[in-house]
Structure 1
Amino acid sequence: MSYPWAREYEPKTGLTKFLDEKLPLPRLVYNAVGAGYPVPRNLSYMWNFGVLAGFFLVVQIVTGIVLAMHYAANAEVAFATTEHIMRDVNWGWLMRYAHANGASFFFIVVYIHIFRGLFYSSYKAPREMIWLLGVVIFLLMMATAFMGYVLPWGQMSFWGAKVITGLFGAIPLVGEPLQVWLLGGFAPDNAALNRFFSLHFLLPFVIAGVVILHIWALHIPGSSNPTGVEVKSESDTLPFHPYYTAKDGFGLGVVLLFFMAMVFFLPNALGHPDNYIEANPLATPAHIVPEWYFWPFYAILRAFTADFILSAKLWGVIAMFASILVWFFLPWLDKSPVRSGHYRPMFRKFFWFGLIPAMIVLFICGGAPAEEPYVMASQIATAYYFLHFLVILPLISSLEKPEPLPYSITEAVLGSDKKAVLGENTTPAV
C-alpha cells in the first residue's frame, strides 16, 4: 500500500550519505518513528504508554549505571554505601530517588499498557508475537525489580529475599537445592547479594533487547487502534511524525510532572519505612510485604491456605506464576472475531465490573496483613481472576453478539458520510 504523504529518507550531508551507504541506521530510525511510518489516525492517549514505558526504561538504565559506580554488593557495607550515595555523592540522592520512583512509574505505565491491550484485544492475530514478547518483558521486569529491592539491604530487602526465595523450597525434590543455588547458601548473605546485583545490572539490557524485538514485531502488522478495524487505505493513516511524536511528547510532559513531584516532594511515599533500618536476620518485621507492584501476585500466593494433594504453599507458588503465564494463551483463549471492547457488550461488562475490581482487590489484599477479611477477599478475587481468563473469556467469545463495526478507521473518525470518508470537499460553493 502506498502512502502519498510518506517521505523517503534523503541524506543531505556527506556524513549522512556515507552512513546511509555503509550503516543505514538513520534511515532505520526514520522509517521506524519518522514521517515514513504510517500509523492509524484514530489512536487515543491510551497508545502513549508504550513510549512512556520506553522512556522509564532509559531512566532506570542511566540512573542504575550511576548508582552502580558507588554501590558495594557486600552484606557488611551495602546498607552503608546506600546511605553514602544519599548523603555524600553529588546528586546521589536525586539518582537514587529517580531510580526508586522510576521503577514504580515504569510499572504504572506498563500496567496501563497491559490492560489497554486486554481491553482492545491487542493479543489477537496478526499481533500475537507482539503480545507474547510484551509478557516476556513484564516477567523480566518483575525479576529485575525483585533483585533491585534486595540491594539496599534494609529489613524489607533481607526478609523479602528470604520469603520469596523460600517459595522455591516448596517445589518437590528440586526445591531446596534450587533455593540454595539461588542464594549461594542457606540464607541471604554476600553470595546472594552479589548474584542479585549482577543480575539486576544485566537484566535491564536484556529487557532493552526484547523491547527492540517487541517494536520490530509491531512494525510488521502495524499498530492496533481503538476500533480494532485494520487499515484499509492510506486515508486511514497518518505519519508517525509529527502527529504522534507531538502527542507522545505532550503525554510524556504530563507524566514527568507527576514523576518530578514524587521525586522531589514524596520520594519515599511508595516505599516501606522498614527498609531504612539495616537488615537484621534476628529481628523479623511484623508485616513483610514486597513493593506495591508485586501486591496482586503476592495476594494470589497467600490466597491458598489449605493443603489439598499438594501443600498450600506449593499451590500458591503455582497460582502466582500461572496468573502471568495465562496471558501467553490469550490469543487462543479469546476466539471473538471482534477486537475492540467498545463493540463487545458482554466482554465490556465482565472487564470493567469483573476483572478490574478483582485486580483492585488483589492490590489491596497484597499489601494488607495475612488476616481476615483480606485472606477471604484475596481468595474470591483470585478465583474470579482465573475464571475470567480460563472460562468467562472463551464463553463470551462464543456467545456474545458484537455491535456493528465501522467500515473503516476513517469512517470511525469522520462519520459514515460518504464524502467525509473519501475526504472530498463538503463545503458548499459560494
Structure 2
Amino acid sequence: MSFAWAKQYEPQSAFTKWLDEKLPFPRLVYNAVGAGYPVPRNLNYMWNFGVLAGFCLMLQIVTGVVLAMHYAANQAVAFGTVEHIMRNVNYGWMLRYAHANGASFFFIVIYLHIFRGFFYSSYKAPREMIWLLGVVIFLLMMATAFMGYVLPWGQMSFWGAQVITGLFTAIPLVGEPLQVWLLGGFAPDNAALNRFFSLHFLLPFVIAGVVILHIWALHIPGSSNPTGVEVKQESDTVPFHPYYTAKDGFGLGVFMILFTTMVFFLPNALGHPDNYIEANPLSTPALIVPEWYFYPFYAILRAFTGDLTIPFTGIVLIPAKLLGVIGMFGSILVWFILPWLDKSPVRSGHYRPLFRKFFWFGLIPTMAALFYLGGAHAEEPYIMLSQIFTAYYFMHFLVILPIISQIEVPKPLPFSITEAVLGKDKAAEAPRAGTVDGTDAGTATDGSLQPAE
C-alpha cells in the first residue's frame, strides 16, 4: 500500500546511507512494520492474531531445531529419545513442552485469525490473494502438525499414522500405491518415521516462505479494518510503529502469560494419554483420534457412513470412505471460493444484521459441536449429530452465505474510518448531499458508501 502521506525512510549516518544504497534491508523493515507503513487507526485486538501467529511459527522453528538435535527417527529408539530429551537434556522438558503446547497455541491463534476473517469478510476484494495464501498456510500447518504427531512414536502416533494414511486407500486405482509410497511400506515403521521427520523439519520453513508472500500481499491493498471502509484520507491512518507495535506487544504479553501457564502448570492437558505409551502394532487403542485441533475435520470425515448409490439399483457410485475423505478436504477447500460466494458489497459483520445472526448462532455453535464430536466415540448419538452439523457447515458456506449476501439490507456505513472513530466530520457533509436520513444513497463494491448523484 502506498500513500503520499506515508513517512519516508531517511538514513541518518554514513553507514546506514551506505547500507541503504547497497542492501536496503532497514528500509524494507521500516516500510513493512515501522513508521513508513500507515495502518487504519481503528484496528481492535482481533488484529493482533497475525503477529501472534508469526511469533508461534518462530517459536516452533526454534524449539523444533533444538529438539531435532537430540531426536532419532528410528522406531526402536524414537520413544526412548523423547524420554531422553525429557530427563537428560538440559531444559529438554521445557523445550518439548513448549514445542508441543506451542503447536496447540499456534492453532488456537490461527482459528481466531480465520474466524475474524469470516466475520469481517477479510476475503473480499481487493484482498483475495491474502486470504488464499492464508488457507494455503493452514493446509501446510495441518500437514506439519500431523507428521509431528507421529514422531513421539506412542500408541496414538502409530495408530494415527495408520488411520490417516489409510484414508488415501479410498481413492480409486491409485489409493493403495499412494499409501505405500507415503509410508515407505505397508504399515508405519522406520521408513515412515524417517519420511515424516524429514518433512516435519522442512515444512515449517516452507510455511515461513508462504507467510512472507502473505505479508507481501497484505501490503499491496493494506490492512482491512472493523468497519470495512477503505482508507480515504491521512487522518484515517496512523503509523504502524509505535501505535500498533505497542498494541501487539501488549497482546503478546497476554499470550505469553497464558502460554507459560500451560507449559509450566498444565503441560500435558492438551495431549492424549495413550501417546505416553510406546507404540504397539498388536494393541489397538479403544479410541483413535488425532490432536484436538483436527477434531472438526475428523468429525466431518466420520459423518459419512453410507455409500452414494444409484437409487433402486444398489450400484455404488462413491463409497462412504471416499465420501468422508472428500467431505473432510472439502470442508477446508470451500474456503478458497469464499471471495466469490459472498456477494455482499459490505464487509464488516457489524453492519450486516442477518449475516451476524447466522455467524454467531449458526457457524460458531456448529464449529464448537464439531470440535466436541471429533473427539467422541464413533457411536450414536454422536454419528447422527456429526451428520447434522456437517450438513449445516456446508450449507452455511454454499447456500446460506450466498443467499444472505443477495437479500440482506446492511446498516449504513460511516463515511470514513475517522468518522467511525471520532464521529461525523461536518466538513465532509457537503459532498453527501442528497442522502436519506443522513446516510449515503450509494454503496460501492469496495464496501464504502459513495455520495449520491
Q: Do these two structures clear the TM 0.5 threshold for a shared fold by scoring above it?
A: yes
What SS does the aligned partner of 2:227 have?
coil
The one-letter code sitting in structure 2 at the alignment partner of 1:402 is: P
Per-residue deviation, 1:126:
0.2
Q: Which residue of 1 aligns with 2:371?
A: 363
The one-letter code sitting in structure 2 at the alignment partner of 1:179 is: Q
What SS does the aligned partner of 1:99 have?
helix
Q: Which residue of 1 aligns with 2:278?
A: 278
1:18 to 2:26 alignment: no
Matches within 5 A, 1:276-315: 276-308=276-308, 309-315=317-323
- CA-atom RMSD, angstroms? 1.3
Find the aligned partners of 1:194 and 1:157 in 2 and give their Cα distance.
14
Select 1:332's aligned residue among 333, 340, 351.
Answer: 340
Contact 1:73-1:151 within 8 A present in 2 as well:
yes
Q: Which residue of 1 aligns with 2:33?
A: 33
Runs of 4+ residues over 6 Å off in structure 1 = 419-422
Deviates more, 1:306-315 or 1:229-238: 306-315
Deviates more, 1:233-242 or 1:13-22: 13-22
1:384 to 2:392 alignment: yes
* Cα distance change of structure 1 residues 2 and 71 upon mapping to structure 2, 3 Å threshold: closer
TM-score by length of 1: 0.96
Q: Which residue of 1 aligns with 2:243?
A: 243
Q: Which residue of 2 aligns with 1:318?
A: 326
The one-letter code sitting in structure 2 at the alignment partner of 1:316 is: G
TM-score by length of 2: 0.91
Contact 1:37-1:239 within 8 A present in 2 as well:
yes
Per-residue deviation, 1:8:
2.1
Find the aligned partners of 2:289 and 2:164 in 1 and give their Cα distance.
10
Per-residue deviation, 1:2:
4.7
Q: Which residue of 1 aligns with 2:94?
A: 94
Per-residue deviation, 1:372:
1.3
Q: Which residue of 2 aligns with 1:393?
A: 401
Per-residue deviation, 1:373:
1.5
Find the aligned partners of 1:407 and 1:175 in 2 and give their Cα distance.
55
Find the aligned partners of 2:166 and 2:243 in 1 and give their Cα distance.
50
> How many correspondences in the alignment?
421
Matches within 5 A, 1:349-360: 349-360=357-368
Q: Which residue of 1 aligns with 2:449?
A: none
The Cα offsets for residues 216-257 of structure 1, whole Å up to 9 and x where unpaired, read as 000000000000000010110000000000000000000100
Per-residue deviation, 1:16:
2.1
Find the aligned partners of 1:8 and 1:322 in 2 and give their Cα distance.
45
What SS does the aligned partner of 1:156 have?
helix
Identity %: 83
Find the aligned partners of 1:295 and 1:367 in 2 and give their Cα distance.
6
Contact 1:414-1:420 within 8 A present in 2 as well:
no
Contact 1:410-1:421 within 8 A present in 2 as well:
no
Find the aligned partners of 1:285 and 1:413 in 2 and give their Cα distance.
56
The Cα offsets for residues 147-180 of structure 1, whole Å up to 9 and x where unpaired, read as 0000000000000000000000111110000000
Find the aligned partners of 2:215 and 2:196 in 1 and give their Cα distance.
28
Find the aligned partners of 1:208 and 1:55 in 2 and give their Cα distance.
11
The one-letter code sitting in structure 2 at the alignment partner of 1:398 is: Q
Matches within 5 A, 1:150-229: 150-229=150-229
* Cα distance change of structure 1 residues 127 and 39 upon mapping to structure 2, 3 Å threshold: same
Find the aligned partners of 1:340 and 1:305 in 2 and give their Cα distance.
38
Structure 2 portions without partners, runs of 5+:
309-316, 431-453
Per-residue deviation, 1:307:
1.3
The one-letter code sitting in structure 2 at the alignment partner of 1:31 is: N
Deviates more, 1:164-173 or 1:372-381: 372-381
What SS does the aligned partner of 1:250 have?
helix
